[in-house]
Amino acid sequence: MFSPVKPEERLLAYARLAVRVGANVAPGQVVQVLGLVEHAELVRAVVREAYAAGASLVEVIYGDMHNRRAAIELGPEEMLGHSPQWMLDRVAAWGEQGVAMISLTGDPEPELFADLDGALVAKALPREIQAAYLRLVTERKINWTIVAAPNEGWARQVFGEPDVERLWQAVATAVRLDEPDPVAAWQAHVDKLSARAEQLNERHFDAIRFRGPGTELTVGLLDTARWHCADSKTAWGARHMPNMPTEEIFTAPDFRRTEGTVRSTFPLSVGGAIVRDLELRFAGGRAVEVKASSGEDIIRRQLETDPQAAMLGEVAIVDGESAVRRSGLTFWNTLFDENAACHIAYGHGVAFAVPGADALSPEELLAKGINVSGIHTDFMIGGPEVDVDGLEPGGAAVSILRGDVWQLA
Amino acid sequence: MFSPVKPEERLLAYARLAVRVGANVAPGQVVQVLGLVEHAELVRAVVREAYAAGASLVEVIYGDMHNRRAAIELGPEEMLGHSPQWMLDRVAAWGEQGVAMISLTGDPEPELFADLDGALVAKALPREIQAAYLRLVTERKINWTIVAAPNEGWARQVFGEPDVERLWQAVATAVRLDEPDPVAAWQAHVDKLSARAEQLNERHFDAIRFRGPGTELTVGLLDTARWHCADSKTAWGARHMPNMPTEEIFTAPDFRRTEGTVRSTFPLSVGGAIVRDLELRFAGGRAVEVKASSGEDIIRRQLETDPQAAMLGEVAIVDGESAVRRSGLTFWNTLFDENAACHIAYGHGVAFAVPGADALSPEELLAKGINVSGIHTDFMIGGPEVDVDGLEPGGAAVSILRGDVWQLA
């Protein structure tokens, strides 16, 4: 886990990777940076790199989970999750301008909301803004990326002590900052993932089956959808890398055809609480039973966000070669943990996996089996004990992962 | 300077004072909190207090001077000071909704821009947003207050070392947090200031004259304007206290009738640079000569912001009893230093000193001698060596301050 990158260079190198490879900021472009106040150090580095890359304007939105907690705890319930008009207008403007978007993750206090009423916590999510933002992603109107900002609280969650340096080293390895040429290393990495996506595309599986302790799940696929890696393009053809790190090959499943039970293999940090031992049962595409040893409430409320929230929007395959997996760590952060193991997401579908989907209305997407929702929550279901098979239209099973090793040739 | 208030209570007490006395947040009101990322601790306390006072929604805007520095240093010049439409719409909505506004001051790096081109620094100020905001203040459409958030960088500027505890004690004393009942102490204090404002109002002076080392300045007054202390009311009658601390009695001068020279008696922290030994010469109301041993450039550029920027918008009297003055400190922060000494401000006029001015258009204000500009910069010109006189319409001089002691009976 030792990283040869010097700490002072690491911050700049990650900021540069986020700007040049992640969002791939174009000269003259407007850039939006989203982070928490605790992320200020990396935010500042990203802003400088964005201007250095030729951004015309870089706007920063600093969030603060403590202020959301105050609203949940002390504010009037009817205002929770309120989306002010100026913010909706702002999100609309992002789409019209075709902005670059760099979001920072890394929760300084993952259990800040753990003692609050889960129903209120779920209510406090800005649903309209989220839905408008997901729509921009679906329509490929922004070149976006999510990167991580190591901080004391997050390090404490991972290591039991606020060892930010150790967390930085883990992050640097996961995002290939310790390679001699990180940009070239990313290119090679993405080429490998793309090749694997092509292997899956050639098979035209009808469904993916996960089998392991507590899991017997079939996820129906769309014959119109393709497998992708994170290597993405905007509607105008600008390449970007939505997640850094990324190790997944994913597609939009047919939201109507998920069946069976699934047990999560990692804890999940979501909405200011930790969800442990999550188990779901799906019938006719819908999650109809929910169980968890902690955070069950927040999942239940998320699934009730809108009529499509309890249907799948994504299925993704990650093997044991993942740089995140090899760290052996639980990062308690979806950007990392979803890249350590196969995962599924309930809520909004990754519609760009379906060619032409960016021109479809929400109603047309739904009619084609592509999910539309105001939320999108990934959770991890893979691991060495979970077999992953592709099911052919005739019903025959083809091994994809055994013991987390890629099986297709 | 010892403050008996416990540190953990001090933060909450100041937040409570800002919410209950400063902005005087009404139940159901929307509240805006403006601060820097370095102010997060006090921001969070203010947000909680605002919800506790019945706010329906508290929105926080965190700024970051480092990101503005990046724009000045690396961004395209033509975008400096750009005011995005969504932000202008947002400011307009503040006026329509009649929000409460709590702004935090306390610069963590007062010389962050000192090595940058002053012309670019001045250009980077969001002029349109500032002008729209000043218009809300003029029209009394928001109940607003400015309070201070002690932080390491500011403490280093004041004491030469990052002694935040000592700065907190100085702030606590200046804002009367160390009184047994701070709210009652504020009432008594404001009553005293109001009585002095009335003394000045009864005299109907035609001008104020400042005489001291390097200063021989006459500021013509408007016969329509009244002297006020910070005790203010919105257009709908909500009381609020725009500055905490406040020790001044002020009015809107006739911007056409300032004559003579003036030497500042305190350094001035403005726009990311320190201005030292500022000297101005006024003729026909306009600052026509500018000299300073540092920061001259930023003042020159401010005075060129718009055609009215170089004319006065405020004249204020502060005597030696001021709690800020008695600290003996230079705070390097206008909220405090302007309350340690008599001061004047170039730029936007404190129009609410003229009854009925909130209903006037900018053109009507100017026709009446009340200044209208996109900036408002106070600087300190008083002190024990500066005599302050009121000049009667006939030309006779009446002592107001001698050796910083109030002379009117």
Q: Smallest Cβ distance to B60: which of A67, A75, A87?
A: A67
pLDDT reading at A70 higher than 50: yes
**3-class DSSP state of A393:** coil
The one-letter amino acid code at B168 reads W
Q: Has residue B2 got a pLDDT over 70?
A: no
| Helices A65-74 & B40-52 angle (0-180, nearest 10) | 10
Q: Residue A2 above 70 pLDDT?
A: no
Count CA within 13 A, CB hemisphere, residue B225: 28
Q: Alpha-carbon distance A277 to A216, whole Å?
A: 16
The Cα of A108 is separated from the nearest Cα of chain B by a number of Å equal to: 14
Q: Please give the Cα distance from A66 to A228 (Å, whole number).
A: 37
Q: Which chain A residues in 140-179 lie under 8 Å from chain B, judged by CB atoms?
A: none
What end-to-end distance do the CA atoms of chain A give, in Å?
31
pLDDT given at position A213: 97
B208: left (phi over 0), alpha (psi -120 to 50) or beta: beta
Rounded to 5 degrees, φ, ψ at B133 are: -65, -45
Amino acid at A86: W
Closest C-alpha to B409, from B229, B267, B203, B234: B203
Q: Mean pLDDT over residues A130-146, rounded?
A: 93
- In this prediction, residue B273 carries a pLDDT of 84
Of B292, B379, B301, B373, the closest CA to residue B334 belongs to: B379
| pLDDT value of position B178 | 87
Among the listed residues A340, A292, A291, the one whose alpha carbon sits nearest the alpha carbon of residue A316: A340
- Helices A7-17 and A182-203, axial angle in degrees (round to 10): 40
Q: Provide the pLDDT confidence category of residue B5 given band limits of 50, 70 and 90.
A: low
CB < 8 Å to B56, chain A: 75-76, 79
pLDDT confidence of A399, banded at 50, 70, 90? Answer: very high
* Residue whose token pair is 């010389």: B111
HEC readout, A238-302: CEECCECCCCCEEECEEEEEEEEEEECCCCEEECCEEEECCEEEEECCEEEEEECCECHHHHHHH
DSSP-assigned states of every residue in B263-332 = E-SS-EEETTEEEBS-EEEEETTEEEEEE-SB-HHHHHHHHTSSTTTTBEEEEEE--TT-HHHHTT---S
Q: Which of A303-312, A363-372, B49-58, B112-121 has the lowest mean pLDDT?
A: B112-121
Phi/psi at B343 (nearest 5 deg)?
-150, 165
Note whether B369 and B256 are within 8 A (CB): yes
**d(CA A71, nearest CA chain B) in Å:** 7
Share of chain B above pLDDT 90, in %: 87
Name residues 78-97 of chain A within 8 A of B (Cβ): 79, 82, 84-87, 89-90, 93
CB-nearest to B82 from A44, A55, A57 is A57
Q: Residue A272 is encoded by which pair of tokens? A: 């200011």
pLDDT at A11: 93
Nearest-angstrom CA–CA distance, B320 and B326: 7
Does the CB of B15 have a partner CB in chain A at under 8 Å? no
Integer-rounded Cα radius of gyration of chain A: 20
Phi/psi of residue B197, nearest 5 degrees: -60, -40
Residue A349 pLDDT > 90: yes
DSSP B118-139: HHHHHHTS-HHHHHHHHHHHHT
Q: Nearest CA to CA, how far is B54 from chain A (Å)?
A: 7
Q: Which residues of B touch A59 (CB under 8 A)?
A: 84
A114 shares contact with chain B (CB less than 8 Å): no
Q: Is the pLDDT of residue B3 over 80?
A: no
Helix (H) / strand (E) containing B85? helix B85-97
User: Which whole number is the average pLDDT over A9-13?
Assistant: 90
Strand, coil or helix: what is B17?
Answer: helix
Assigned architecture for domain B7-174 = 3-Layer(aba) Sandwich (3.40)
As a whole number of angstroms, the distance between CA B47 and CA A115 comes to 19
Chain B residues with CB under 8 Å of A89 CB are: 86, 89
- In this predicted structure, the answer to whether residue B162 has a pLDDT above a threshold of 90 is yes
User: Which is higher by pLDDT, A119 or B370?
Assistant: B370
pLDDT band at B111 (very low <50, low <70, confident <90, very high): confident
Residue window 326-385, chain A: list those with CB within 8 Å of chain B: none
Q: Please provide the average confidence, as pLDDT, over all residues in chain A.
A: 94
Beta carbons of A171 and A357 less than 8 angstroms apart: no
* ipTM score: 0.89
Does residue B253 sit in helix, strand or coil?
A: strand
Confidence tier at A119 by pLDDT (50, 70, 90): confident
| Percent of the residues in chain A that have a pLDDT greater than 70, as a whole number | 99
Query: How many Cβ atoms sit within 10 Å of the Cβ of residue B311?
Result: 27
DSSP state of B351: G
Q: Worst-scoring range by mean pLDDT, A208-222, A375-389, B85-99, B110-124?
A: B110-124
Mean pLDDT confidence for B299-315: 95
Is the Cβ pair B58, A67 closer than 8 Å? yes
- pLDDT value for B358: 84
pLDDT tens sequence across B219-266: 999 999 999 998 999 999 999 999 999 999 999 999 999 999 999 999
More confident residue, A181 or B67: B67
pLDDT per residue as tens digits for the range A381-391? 999 999 999 99
Of A403, A366, A408, A389, nearest in space to A206 by CA:
A389
Q: Compute the average pLDDT of residues B360-375.
A: 95
Interacting residues of A294 by C-beta distance below 8 A, sequence separation 6+? A114, A273, A274, A275, A276, A277
A378 or B3: which leads in pLDDT: A378
Domain definitions of chain A by residue range: 7-174, 182-231+244-406
Residues 6+ apart with CB under 8 A from B125: B81, B271, B305, B375
In this prediction the pTM is: 0.91
Q: Which of A56, A66, A76 sits opposite B44 (nearest CB)?
A: A66
Residues of A in contact with B58 (CB under 8 A): 67, 70-71, 75
Does the pLDDT value for residue A4 go beyond 80?
no
Chain B contact for A60 (CB, 8 A cutoff): yes
On chain B, the residues whose CB falls within 8 A of the CB of A35 are none
